[in-house]
């Protein structure tokens, strides 16, 4: 990967009316890297995202310590309006993010507030809509869109800002299975075709494994695991310790077979297609 674009050193944070939420977070994310973040509800995932975006401490108050550097900027000392040109964030509920009556109006809102030329904005809209799989939707009324389409528009609006870092905070949590698939298709396209650094909080661990370079698990405000998907999901003990989190089904199956010595540990995979191919080979060997 490239050089670190995100550095977090000793980050702790407490909301005014709660116990400590983040406890000594240390983290580096390289330019162009796709990092997934998972963990139980209330673990501090969204709070970490808001710190990276600069919403904490500029918009949301509390007691914060430590250092956060994103794109060379100290988020504690840089106004969110300045960070907005480099760091974009998409939240869970697409309804709360859409401000335009039409798709075109919504996509233009952010760059217009940054005083970007109208011709530049007009040229960017069809490119961004193509990226999220909604070519030709410029004049669609936003209230008529499906949940998955609205979340893709929210991602498109973030991309209109041309961010170097894109933060997705559980973007599929409010969606039905079709909507979830639509969003992950967009995320996969971003992963393959663009150099933007992506940080995605997500509970859909099977799909997250397919797009992430590494996955971080946060529990009770601390990073308890940080590894590539193959290594991350091979750690069954991690998921037994973390309430509310589960392994992908294919990983559970292979770990059970590994425990019975039917599968060699070096052959473990969290990827469905690889697992199917492995099981096919094992069945053929058994027949022979």
Q: Are 212 and 283 within one domain?
A: no
Looking at residue 176, what is its pLDDT? 86
Same domain, 162 and 81: yes
Same domain, 58 and 141: yes
Instruction: List the structure tokens of 266.
Output: 């070096």
Q: Are 282 and 263 a contacting pair, CB within 8 Å?
A: yes
Nearest in space to 170 (alpha carbons), one of 227, 96, 117, 228: 96
Shared domain for 193 and 260, answered yes or no, is no
pTM here is 0.90
What was the pLDDT predicted at 243?
64
Domains: count for the chain: 2
Residue 77: predicted pLDDT? 92
Tens-of-pLDDT digits for all 288 residues of the chain? 557 899 999 999 999 988 778 999 999 999 989 999 999 888 999 999 999 999 999 999 899 999 999 999 999 999 888 998 899 999 988 888 899 999 999 999 999 988 899 999 999 999 999 999 999 999 999 999 999 999 999 999 999 998 999 999 999 888 888 888 888 888 888 888 877 899 999 988 888 888 899 999 999 999 999 999 999 999 888 887 776 677 888 888 999 999 988 889 999 999 888 999 998 988 887 776
Q: Which domain holds residue 269?
A: 248-288
Residues 166 and 31 in one domain: yes
Residues 38/243, Cβ–Cβ less than 8 Å? no
Same domain, yes or no: 240 and 256: no
Q: State residue 288's pLDDT score.
A: 60
Claim to verify: residue 170 and residue 255 sit in the same structural domain? no
**Residue 260 and residue 224 share a domain:** no
Angle at which helices 177-193 and 118-131 pack, to 10 degrees? 110
Kindly state whether residues 182 and 282 are assigned to the same domain.
no
Verify that 175 and 89 share a domain, yes or no.
yes
Give the CATH number of the domain where residue 52 resides.
Answer: 3.40.50.300
Q: Are residues 241 and 261 in the same domain?
A: no
Prior bond of 57 cis (ω within 30°): yes
Same domain, 201 and 67: yes
């Amino acid at each position: 990967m490239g050089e670190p674009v995100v550095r977090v050193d000793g980050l702790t944070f407490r909301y005014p009316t709660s116990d400590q939420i983040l406890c000594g977070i240390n983290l580096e994310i390289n330019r162009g890297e796709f990092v997934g973040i998972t963990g139980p509800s209330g673990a501090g995932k969204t709070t970490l995202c808001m710190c990276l975006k600069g919403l904490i401490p500029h918009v949301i108050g509390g007691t914060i310590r430590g250092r956060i550097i994103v794109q060379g900027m100290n988020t504690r000392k840089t106004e969110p309006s300045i960070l907005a040109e480099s760091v974009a964030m998409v939240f869970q509920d697409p309804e709360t993010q859409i401000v335009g009556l039409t798709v075109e109006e919504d996509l233009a809102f952010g760059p217009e507030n940054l005083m970007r030329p109208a011709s530049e904005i007009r040229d960017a809209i069809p490119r961004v809509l193509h990226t999220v799989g909604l070519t030709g939707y410029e004049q669609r009324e936003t209230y008529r869109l499906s949940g998955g389409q609205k979340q893709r528009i929210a991602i498109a609006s973030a991309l209109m800002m041309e961010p170097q870092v894109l933060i997705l905070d559980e973007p599929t949590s409010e969606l039905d299975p079709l909507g979830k698939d639509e969003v992950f298709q967009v995320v996969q396209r971003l992963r393959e075709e663009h150099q933007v650094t992506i940080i995605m909080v997500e509970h859909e661990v099977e799909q997250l494994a397919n797009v992430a370079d590494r996955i971080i698990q946060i529990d009770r405000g601390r990073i308890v695991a940080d590894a590539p998907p193959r290594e991350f999901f091979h750690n069954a003990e991690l998921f037994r310790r973390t309430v509310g989190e589960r392994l992908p089904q294919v990983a559970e199956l292979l770990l059970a077979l590994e425990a019975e010595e039917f599968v060699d540990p070096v052959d473990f995979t969290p990827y469905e297609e690889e697992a199917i191919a492995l099981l096919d080979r094992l069945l053929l060997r058994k027949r022979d």
